[in-house]
Amino acid sequence: MHDTAESSAGQPWLHRLAICTDGNGTALSGMDGTMAGRGAEGFFVDDERVVSRLAVTLGGEMATEVSTASRGPRSEFFGSARGLGDDGPDPTVELHRSRELTGGRLVERVRVISRSAQAVSTSIEITVGGDGLDIAEVKSGATGGPILDPEVTDADCARWQSDRLATTTTFQPAPATLTSKDDGVHAIFPVTLEPGIPVDVTVDVTTRRISSGEFPADPGSRRVDWPERVAVEAADPRLARLLRTSLVDLRSLLLVDPADPHDVFAAAGTPWYLTLFGRDSIWTARMSLPLGLQLATGTLRALARRQGTRVDPSTAEEPGKIPHELRRAAYRDRVLGFTLPPVYYGTVDATALWICLLHDAWRWGMPEREVSALLPNLRSAVRWLTEVAASDDDGLLKYVDDSGHGLVNQGWKDSGDSMRFRDGTLAHAPIALVEAQAYAVEAARGATRILSAMGGDDDAGLVDSLAQWGDSLAERIRDRFWVTTGALPYLAMAVDGGGRLVDGVASNMGHVLGTGALTPEEAARVIETLMAPIMLGPYGIATLAADNGGFNPIGYHTGSVWVHDTAICALGMAREGHLDEAATVASRLLDAGAAFDYRFPELFSATGALGEPAPYPASCRPQAWATASAVAILTVLLGLEVDVPGRTVTVRPAPSAPFGPLRVGGLRIGEAILTISVDASGQVEVDGLPDGFTLDT
């Protein structure tokens, strides 16, 4: 961390940057490919900016950006050197840059092509340097510290290092001159451009860990094979394109557990959260189950290894609790005013969601021996839910930051201003979120099924008490969370520290759907509220209703649309049997994906120019549970449910068939690979169903 870094107004914006990522490495630049050390621009490895300056000039001038594209680990840039070549309106000298990441390595291929009638003499100059800033400093608005002193070690090589990482940059071919300056190393290549004959230069930036930090996770993108196996054919071609782009991005976010490289999980998102996050990684794995079990099993084991074992208020650790996030070093946010330790447990819902993921993975075919190996963690998680989290007299799961330096809000809406009453005023801790109670109900019932099927004789008493506990908590939701002052009853988002209902109309209630916590009539009321114009807009469900006092369409959790949030609501509607409503919500998400060039951002505003959605400027892109939402859309459209222990696959597509005939190939159920087809009349055909399985349509 640089003490000399200067602070700016706040968190830098990302919406006009080109972003690519692979595991623990991510590169952000201007749309012309230039990294100028502004805002979040740079190449980050293990949350450190190893390159803050990467610029290419031709004849001393920057090329003009013409087009840019980013997907997964790659970004490509096409520019024009308008000051070179033939006179006239048409550009005749092109600059092409192709950037590809492999974790802590960045390879940039620079190609210059002249379309001029005559040879053009010029020079290619490439500048590379790094300031070593920590991602938390960058997110807090630091404008950059001094460039780390580069050492030119050979005609084609320069090096610099921080306390944690050593960086080496090589050039191919070797430049005519390579010099060290205040803004980095400068490589100069005098060239003569013959018409139509390209000139190529490659810049290769590699990093080596000097200090591994708390969580030295490496890329996991090459340890999975599921993205290429999934294919979609639909009357609406946008669906296939969205899935294809989302799977490339999701794969680029995968990391391997440094404790066991066989286990792969999804980092939450780039650039701010490129690491293991309990809630985010779990939801991503849950939504991705139709792709295979590898992500679910890796996520379960990575989190189980770090399950809490002691009471530590400074980290919010408690026995049985699943962690919130792991970092390479302590994370200090100067703007929001919190400091998180490298392993932080400040989450009220990750433990229940971990149990839900284990239950889901078991139903999707996770081998019994692997489930059995996690039974001790399951029992410990259950004890945390029933004996620690819900230990107050009212029996509700609550959160409060006892450390004084952690997160004020510890559900998925974790910003400081997210918990609002209908008049816009803020609620105060301890807070009992409605969705946290519902997750716990689902977790209790899932755990009883697993323990009944696979537990020992000693688990019989636990199964009985846990079933009763889950039923009792469902009753508490019905008794405590309904707001009945308006024309239509709806679920409050929380109960605050004074026992008052936090009565803002919000998307939290959508997470209760499908958990088993509601009666069919209650679920119908929730769905009616979510489908109302104050909540469902043209591109998804708002986090906070438009008529709420604190509504802001571009507020982080106060009126924006979060992709995963809308997807979870749609999944819940489908699980409650409201298939047409679920399909309607899914189709709105597809519209949003198309509006963002099929690369879902983390969140956005439904209100933008000419009726288009507007980007939330600091949104992660790609972001794991947003990318996995493309798979959730398929699950909703197919009405897909799987029960491998029960030998049943359910396919009940929405009668409205918003995308017409649909064929999805490459879905995995255990070891089987299925192709599911739905024709225009709604008839279902499944190829590859394992022997002994029943198809329920």
DSSP classification of residue 473:
H
What mean pLDDT comes out for the span 624-646?
97
Mean pLDDT within 4-16: 71
Quote the pLDDT of residue 227. 66
Instruction: Say which amino acid occupies 588.
Output: R
Rg (CA), the chain: 26
The arithmetic mean of pLDDT across residues 253-282, rounded, is: 97
Query: Could you give the CA distance from residue 298 to residue 312 in angstroms, rounded to a whole number?
Result: 26
Question: Measured at the alpha carbon of residue 413, what is the angle toward residues 410 and 417, in degrees to the nearest 5?
Answer: 95
Residues recorded for the chain:
697
Q: How far apart are CA 484 and CA 480, in angstroms?
A: 11
Split at pLDDT 50, 70, 90, the class of 669 is very high
Q: CA-to-CA distance for 396 and 390, rounded, in angstroms?
A: 5
Instruction: Indicate the helix (H) or strand (E) that contains 565.
Output: helix 563-575
DSSP secondary structure letters along 439-462: HHHHHHHHHHHHHHHH--GGGHHH
Give residue 9's pLDDT.
56
Whether residue 175 is preceded by a cis peptide bond, meaning omega within 30 degrees of 0, is no
Provide the β-strand partners of residue 24: none
Domain annotation for the chain: domains and CATH numbers: 6-209 (2.70.98.40), 218-678 (1.50.10.10)
Lowest mean pLDDT among 227-241, 448-462, 591-605, 636-650: 227-241
pLDDT in tens, 398-408: 999 999 899 99
**If you average pLDDT over residues 291-307, what whole number do you get?**
97
Among the residues of 255-330, which ranges form H helices?
278-287, 294-304
Average pLDDT for 279-296: 97
Arithmetic mean of pLDDT, 307-316: 97
CA distance 654 to 504: 31
pLDDT surpasses 50 at 479: yes
Q: In this model, does residue 2 exceed pLDDT 50?
A: no
- The 10 Å CB-count burial string (b at 16+, else e) for 541-570 is bbbbbbebebbbbbbbbbbbbbbbbbbbbb
Residue 221 token pair = 């993108």
Average pLDDT for 177-181: 96
Closest by alpha carbon to 266, among 316, 303, 240? 303
Do the beta carbons of residue 341 and residue 330 sit within 8 Å?
Answer: yes
Lookup: tokens for 662: 């649909």
pLDDT digits 0-9 by tens, 436-460:
999 999 999 999 999 999 998 899 9
3-state secondary structure 169-182: EEEECCCCEEEEEC
Cα 155 to chain centroid distance, Å, stands at 41
Mean pLDDT to the nearest integer, 246-263:
96
Between CA 110 and CA 153 the distance in angstroms is 22
Contact 239, 278 (CB under 8 A): no
Average pLDDT over residues 499-515: 98
Residue 523 neighbours by CB under 8 Å, 6+ apart: 513, 576, 578
pLDDT, the chain, mean: 95
Specify the DSSP class assigned to residue 35.
E
Closest CA to 518 of 587, 435, 459: 435
- Please state, in angstroms and rounded to a whole number, the distance separating the CA atoms of residues 573 and 580: 9
Q: What is the pLDDT of residue 143?
A: 78
Q: Give burial (CB, 10 Å; 0-12/13-18/19+) of 310.
A: exposed
> What's 99-153 look like in SS3?
EEEECCEEEEEEEEEECCCCCEEEEEEEEEECCCCEHHHHHCCEEECCCCCCEEE
* pLDDT for res 6: 44
CA angle 66, 70, 75 (to 5 degrees): 75
Q: What mean pLDDT comes out for the span 587-616?
A: 96
Query: In this model, does residue 70 exceed pLDDT 60?
Result: yes
CB 185 within 8 A of CB 192: no
Report residue 420 as tokens: 């609002």
| Residue 4: pLDDT band with limits 50, 70, 90 | very low
Cα angle 626, 72, 628; round to 5: 25
Contacts of 73 (CB under 8 A, 6+ apart): 20, 21, 22, 100, 101, 102, 221, 252
pLDDT band for position 212 (cuts 50, 70, 90): confident
**How many helices (DSSP H) and strands (DSSP E) are in the chain?**
13, 44
Say how far apart CA 407 and CA 333 lie, in whole Å: 11
Can you give the pTM of this predicted structure? 0.96
Token pair of 523, please?
Answer: 């679920």
Tell me the pLDDT band of 485, cut-offs 50, 70 and 90.
confident
pLDDT at 225: 79
Contacts of 556 (CB under 8 A, 6+ apart): 415, 417, 418, 603, 616
**Encoding tokens for residue 272?**
């701010």
Percent of residues, the chain, with pLDDT higher than 70: 98
Q: If you ran DSSP here, which 8-state letter would residue 539 be given?
A: T
User: DSSP class of residue 634?
Assistant: H
Q: Tens digits of per-residue pLDDT, 148-172?
A: 999 999 999 999 999 999 999 999 9
Lowest-pLDDT range, 6-20, 94-108, 146-160?
6-20
Q: What is the pLDDT of residues 105-120, one digit of tens each?
A: 999 999 999 999 999 9
Distance of CA 13 to the CA centre of its chain: 17
Residue 630: is its pLDDT beyond 80? yes
Sequence letter at residue 451:
L
